Structure 1
Amino acid sequence: MLRYLGPGILLAGAAIGGSHLVASTQAGAHYGWSLLGILLLVNLFKYPFFRYGQRYTAATGESILEAYVKLGRGYLFLFFLLNLFTGMANIAGVSMITGSLATNFGVSGVSVPVLSGIFMLTSMLIVMLGGFSLLRRFGKIIVAVLGLSTVVAVIISLISGPAGDPAYAGESPWTMASFGFVIMFMGWMPAPIEASVWPSLWMKSQQKLQKKSFVMREAMTDFHAGYYASVFFALVFLVLGKMLIYGTGTVLSPQGTVFARQLIDLYSIAIGEWSRPLIVVVAFSAMFSTTLTTIDAYPRALANSTRLLFPIAENRFRAVHVFWIISGVAGSFLLIQYFVDQLGDMLSLAMILSFLAAPVFAFLNYRIMFLDNVPEMFRPKPWEKTLSVAGMFFLIGFGLVFILWYFFS
């Protein structure tokens, strides 16, 4: 079964650093268990739309970007523009945190922006020289290391008990002041819905690598392994935030580099200084996994979008792909160098835009499952239709409430 795993696990690796390590930890640290229900609900309601991404490719042999074109080129262009902005902001943000965490390994005399650039360059070389095969192997190893070390950290924190005052009653997330965080939390939980394109594209790469097509059972096994792992890690980091930070009086910084240092220090103090290496490995594994995966995913999606929007010869696709990889890394490094103070705001905006666009991509992913090239046996079952409609209402409802909150609060 392990040989089928890849695309779904890679998505889990991308989700962990993008939303879980930072947003889930902050949710637990600021609000305790208050956002646990929202975490579970948003993962439930996004579930069918991520599932359709890999299911469509297994059923038809096409990526869902090709399906978007069939529904209308404007939808693909919307995807292209959204990924162009969120991609560079995300790569820059996760690379900064990765570079900051690397200072805990005794690296001295090198600035965090330079370390971030080194990790982006390393990831770029892995993606360009090793291709999907090396990315897939790295992804499995990193997620396995992260899973083992995180479980150990959670067990220790549960045995030790809450670090904060047991009688502490924190602020409610259901206030006007906190609602923006709730929307950002949901936007990339477990990942933005447009990220469902990534496993679809990785599936096509894995098919070429293994010289065989996915059967539906294999595709769904891979999807569920990745999605359940992503939900598990989201829960784990919320638990860590609740057990180690909630009620201690510590305010987590919104700046990624400061947050990374706080996270290591707080966990080490709460669990014991002996645990510092374990916490460093957990956090660094999460962030390097995300850096590596996003540097493959965003350029891959942009390159395939370019190919479909502006038809190019097949033998020129590799050059287009390399162009987007280099452009993504270069653009992200420039953001780190010259706009580092605005990077947090950019990431917040990217999360909000992803959430507001979520109903559109949710509808598209649902709609493509009824295209003529999808066999009847692979189309959504009644329970999937019900969950999909409920999910779209959930996303639209919160989106409308956020718009009202933004303009009238």
Structure 2
Amino acid sequence: MMLAAVAVGVSHLVYSTQAGANYGLSLFWVILVISLLKYPAFRLAVDYTNVTGTSLVTAYAKISKIALAWLVVGFFVDMFIATSAVALVAAGLFISVFDLSYSNIQIAIALVVVSAIILLNGQYQKSERIVKILVLAFSLLTIVAMIFSLPLLGSDDRALFAELTPSRSLSIFVIAIAGWMPMPTNGALLFSKWVCEKRAIEGDRFDSATALSDFRIGYTLTVVLAMCFIVMGTGVLFDTGRIAPSRPPEFAAELFTIFTTTIGQWSYPVIATAGIAVMWSTLIALMDVMPRLTDRLAGIITGRPREAPSRYKQFSIVQVIGVSVILLFFMKSFTVFLYFATSVGLIAAPAIGYYNYIAVTSDEVSSTYTPKRGIILWNWLGVIVMTAFAIAFLYTRIFGL
């Protein structure tokens, strides 16, 4: 469930909804296929940590300096850019629900600071159960809203077979979907770290089968919710003349309208509370795990691999400062900002899939625990397809197509 809390953020609330609003159900299968292609990279991460008891950060450091360099770049993006994007969307929800008069950037920075204070005081673990309950409520309401929105699709085939005219805007949007749907592939590193810490806490009580089952349930839920949001976006917004706004506060208001339109005004307090909880939990989770991963990475680079609480606090403060600087001085366009973040996620995806394969087939993992041939071939298919997406993206950027 916590995987869903982290994954159901910008990719679902923004991109799935916009996909339905702008293109009907034409991109339904694109989102589904991308989600399926990314699955093995996450699965291999869980397999590696279940067997070795260490996170993928350690594995990448052993593979090569190039793999380590990928981590440095990926951690920079997640620690500052992705966190900034999530904070902006979360702030948009707060502004919409509480009708705040402050700017989106001001609220986003406030959320980042409050989240850091919560984490540094060790309060996040205490609220984890509440977050899980709210995520479950949000998920159930989303599924119910999706079911009620089905009649709004209409009796004709306009929504199901909406014509897609090749264009730069469509290419950019598909690239964004490929980068962050149902979540960025570097999320495999985050989940690997959580499994590693859970194993350390539970000791002999740790059950690798349960960890794998938790992952499967969480990942499946993220894919199902992505499908729900594209259906709702299609049913409520497609071919109505209304568009999904690009500014977070307006988009949040439109998002809540989807729920109240489909299942009634009574759902607003529930979905508003659950929606804020989901986005804030995504923000807190990023701000919790990224300093831990960066601490581990810094320890490996400096030859002091043991994690230290003092370093975690230092990296948390660095993250708050870095995110604040980005929000204050580099946030000219929310749409462009998200596009940059998702583009980096797209470029990193094939490398992460490849390095996860190298890690799980290394000498550290006994042949007894090596994943079956089917999942390995599935992962290679994902690497090849995501590489094609990355090349297509770079081609459009270089030649301006």
Q: TM-score, normalised by structure 1?
A: 0.89
Asked whether the 8 Å contact 2:47–2:371 carries over to 1, the reply is: no
Is 1:18 the counterpart of 2:34 in the alignment?
no
How far the C-alpha of 1:185 sits from its partner, in A, is 0.7
- Matched with 1:295 is 287
CA distance in 2, matches of 1:136, 1:212: 23
Is 1:220 the counterpart of 2:221 in the alignment?
no
CA distance in 1, matches of 2:339, 2:131: 26
Secondary structure of 1:341's aligned partner: coil
Sort the Cα spacing of 1:177 and 1:39 in 2 relative to 1 into closer, same or farther, 3 A.
same
Sort the Cα spacing of 1:138 and 1:291 in 2 relative to 1 into closer, same or farther, 3 A.
farther
- Matched with 2:362 is 371
Is 1:236 the counterpart of 2:228 in the alignment?
yes
How far the C-alpha of 1:272 sits from its partner, in A, is 4.7
Unaligned runs of 5+ in 2: none
Q: How does 1:6-405 map to 2 (within 5 A)?
A: 9-130=1-122, 133-134=125-126, 136-158=128-150, 161-162=152-153, 167=158, 170-172=162-164, 174-212=166-204, 214-265=206-257, 267-269=259-261, 272-312=264-304, 314=306, 317-405=308-396
CA distance in 1, matches of 2:320, 2:2: 19
CA distance in 1, matches of 2:141, 2:195: 28
How far the C-alpha of 1:61 sits from its partner, in A, is 1.0
1:293-326 CA distances to partner (integer Å, 9 max, x unpaired)? 1111222222221111122373x62111111212
CA distance in 2, matches of 1:203, 1:214: 10
CA distance in 1, matches of 2:130, 2:321: 23
Sort the Cα spacing of 1:123 and 1:142 in 2 relative to 1 into closer, same or farther, 3 A.
farther
CA distance in 1, matches of 2:219, 2:293: 20
Number of residue pairs matched by the alignment = 399
Unaligned runs of 5+ in 1: 1-8
How far the C-alpha of 1:366 sits from its partner, in A, is 0.8
Percent of matched pairs sharing the same residue: 28
How far the C-alpha of 1:279 sits from its partner, in A, is 4.0
Asked whether the 8 Å contact 2:12–2:226 carries over to 1, the reply is: yes
CA distance in 1, matches of 2:311, 2:70: 19
Asked whether the 8 Å contact 2:178–2:346 carries over to 1, the reply is: yes
CA distance in 1, matches of 2:55, 2:21: 39
Task: Let me know the Cα RMSD of the aligned residues.
Answer: 2.5
1:210-264 CA distances to partner (integer Å, 9 max, x unpaired)? 2336433122112112111111111111111111111111122333333223323
Deviates more, 1:227-236 or 1:393-402: 393-402
Asked whether the 8 Å contact 1:30–1:170 carries over to 2, the reply is: no
Deviates more, 1:265-274 or 1:26-35: 265-274
Asked whether the 8 Å contact 2:16–2:233 carries over to 1, the reply is: yes
Deviates more, 1:375-384 or 1:174-183: 174-183
How far the C-alpha of 1:74 sits from its partner, in A, is 2.8
Q: What code does the residue aligned with 1:401 have?
A: A
Sort the Cα spacing of 1:144 and 1:50 in 2 relative to 1 into closer, same or farther, 3 A.
same
Asked whether the 8 Å contact 1:91–1:332 carries over to 2, the reply is: yes
Secondary structure of 1:211's aligned partner: helix
Asked whether the 8 Å contact 1:150–1:282 carries over to 2, the reply is: no
Q: TM-score, normalised by structure 2?
A: 0.90
CA distance in 2, matches of 1:257, 1:108: 10
